[in-house]
Chains A and B, each alone.
Chain A
């Protein structure tokens, strides 16, 4: 099956610092990337959708200046949490869309657990 590499799996940072999360599709090209966030005991919530080479589309209530998404290539997307605060502590999951049109399949990374002190 398709392989998705999300790194790091866990990060602890101080309040005010920025954290970058990488998501790579290792054996397929992803024209579309979804980023999700999951708070403890809550559902996965879609944060944003990005297409390669275009600006990301953010869901309502998600600050685009705080959660910077870069999707510069078909195999790499990054999510940067800028000036992180404790309320940003969460589980972040990338989800590349792979396939060839009619057979598109949504894959998922293993997630990144961010803890902001």
Chain B
């Protein structure tokens, strides 16, 4: 079956540091890949997505590239802010609107 593995948190960084959150997946076929973000007290929000190999999703300074050869979709941001503190979920979907989620990675950014 499908599965998503992402690095365990929490990831703790200082403001303006470079962020990488690793995500790898297992799937049959060619799924779409997603990153969701959950800010404290709020629901998950779609952050970015990529639907085919070599696509790069980007939003709010975050980006991730769909790497079929390494089955990865790592999330990166060049300079994090305190307001980026949240839980980030990697997910995949090959059933339309029913993603398979990773466990989530908590990001804590200190001033």
Residues of B within 8 A of A (CB): 4, 8, 36, 38, 41-46, 89, 97-104
Shortest Cβ distance from A108 into chain B, in angstroms? 4
Range of interface residues on A (Cβ < 8 Å): 20 to 34
Q: Hey, which chain B residues are within 8 Å of A43, CB to CB?
A: 4, 100-104
Contact partner of B43 (CB less than 8 A), chosen from A38, A41, A110, is A110
Please, what's the 1-or-0 string for A1-28, where 1 marks a CB less than 8 Å from any CB in chain B?
1001010010000000000000000000
Q: Given A43-B4, A44-B89 in contact, is the A106-B41 Cβ separation under 8 Å?
A: no
Q: A97 and B97 in contact (CB under 8 A), knowing A4-B43, A43-B4, A43-B103?
A: yes
**A residues at B contact (CB < 8 Å):** 1, 4, 6, 9, 32, 34, 36, 38, 41-46, 49, 93, 95, 97, 104-111
In chain B, what residue has the closest Cβ to A109? B43
The distance from the CB of B39 to the nearest CB of chain A, in whole angstroms, is 9
CB within 8 A of A106: which of B38, B99, B102? Answer: B99
User: Given A42-B103, A44-B89, are A110 and B42 also a contact pair (CB < 8 Å)?
Assistant: yes
User: Closest chain B residue to A99 by CB distance?
Assistant: B97
Most chain B CB within 10 A, of A6, A105, A110, is at A110
- How far is A95 from B41 in the complex, measured between Cα atoms in Å? 15
Selected from B8, B43, B46, B101, the residue in CB contact (under 8 A) with A111 is B43
CA distance A49 to B97 in the complex (A): 11
Closest Cβ of chain B to A94, distance in Å, is 9
Return the contact of A6 from the options B43, B98, B101, B104 (Cβ within 8 A).
B43
Q: Say whether B43 contacts A44, CB under 8 Å.
A: no
Q: How far is the CA of A23 from the CA of B101 in the complex (A)?
A: 20
Residues of B with C-beta under 8 A to A110: 41-43
Most buried by A among B38, B44, B100: B44
Bound: A46/B46 CA distance, A: 17
Inter-chain CA distance A34–B91, complex, in Å, is 15
Given A41-B103, A42-B103, A43-B102: A106 and B97 interface contact (C-beta under 8 Å): yes
Flag if B101 contacts A108 (CB, 8 Å): no
